[in-house]
Amino acid sequence: MKPAPFTYSRPADWPAAVALLGGGARPMAGGQSIGPMLNLRMAQPEGVIDLRHLPDARGVTVSGGRCRIAAGTTHAAIEDGAVPGRLGAILAGVARRIAYRPVRNRGTVGGSLAHADPAADWVAVLPAFPGDAVAVGPAGERRIPLASFVTGLLSSALRPDELLRAIELPVLPEGTRWGHWKFCRKPGEFSKATACVLAVPGEAPRAVLAALDEPPMLIPDATALIAAPEEEASRIVAALPGLDPWRAALARTALRRAVRMAGEDA
């Protein structure tokens, strides 16, 4: 099947891209989500706004203890070390398990987050970091906490007249421990349950449970989970309504294994 007719726009700068959002146009970064949706006619926008060629659309900068990752930075670039230090090592480990290398070569961290599929890797793990999504609209930039960016299935806190421009995360000390576990029925498939644990020295550990067809669940203080993973994972999952038994079992396993991996991380 071929897409329904649409106009193609390649804006020269961010204000021009924002101005094109009215009238039913959809933004496109790597095209790994919207491309298949267009071909299947699951999406039939009036136009497509190509963001790949905008100034500062991709790349990483570090300043003042914060790492700014441009939304158009590809999974492959992160996998290959575009983000420095301990934070970069953690993100590279996440990136290299996203689908396949050809997908990672084009798919972008911002496109994945803005698409807001609850099972997507960046949607599942970024809330573990006390960082922000940087949106840009007619009034300029606006910061949205990553913990509340995804609001539902394929929906986010972005306003209709905003684009996701960057993600800002804290630079992490070398002693930071990380555990990340996800279950996929076959390589390259979206996860059926994902959990991660971030333990920064001197701070309360954070955990996320995700990929359960709902927005990611942030546990801002995972001390109890780390101390008693079996009991606490069961308590957390039992409070989630409507999970099939097999999905609940996967969720408990994801939490326990993420805790174990964080404990083994050195």
pLDDT number for residue 173: 97
pLDDT number for residue 40: 67
pLDDT number for residue 266: 67
Digitized pLDDT (tens) for each residue of the chain, 266 residues in all: 688 787 888 999 999 999 999 877 889 888 777 777 767 677 777 888 999 899 999 999 999 999 999 999 999 999 999 999 999 999 999 999 999 999 999 999 999 999 999 999 999 999 999 999 999 999 999 999 999 999 999 999 999 999 999 999 999 999 999 999 999 988 888 899 999 999 999 999 999 999 999 999 999 999 999 999 999 999 999 999 999 999 999 999 999 999 999 999 86
pLDDT number for residue 198: 98
Structural domains for the chain: 7-50 (3.30.43.10), 60-170 (3.30.465.10), 177-264 (3.30.390.50)
pLDDT number for residue 129: 98
Question: pTM, whole model, 2 decimals?
Answer: 0.94
pLDDT number for residue 77: 98
pLDDT number for residue 28: 87
DSSP state letters, the chain: --PPP-EEE--SSHHHHHHTTTTSEEEESS-TTHHHHHHTTS---SEEEE-TTSTTSS-EEEETTEEEEETT-BHHHHHTT-S-HHHHHHHHHHHTTSS-HHHHHH-BHHHHHHHT-TTSHHHHHGGGSS-EEEEEETTEEEEEEGGGTEEETTEES--TT-EEEEEEEE---TT-EEEEEEE-SSTTSPPSEEEEEEE-TTS--EEEEE-SSS--EEES--HHHHHSHHHHHHHHHHTSTT--HHHHHHHHHHHHHHHHHHHH--
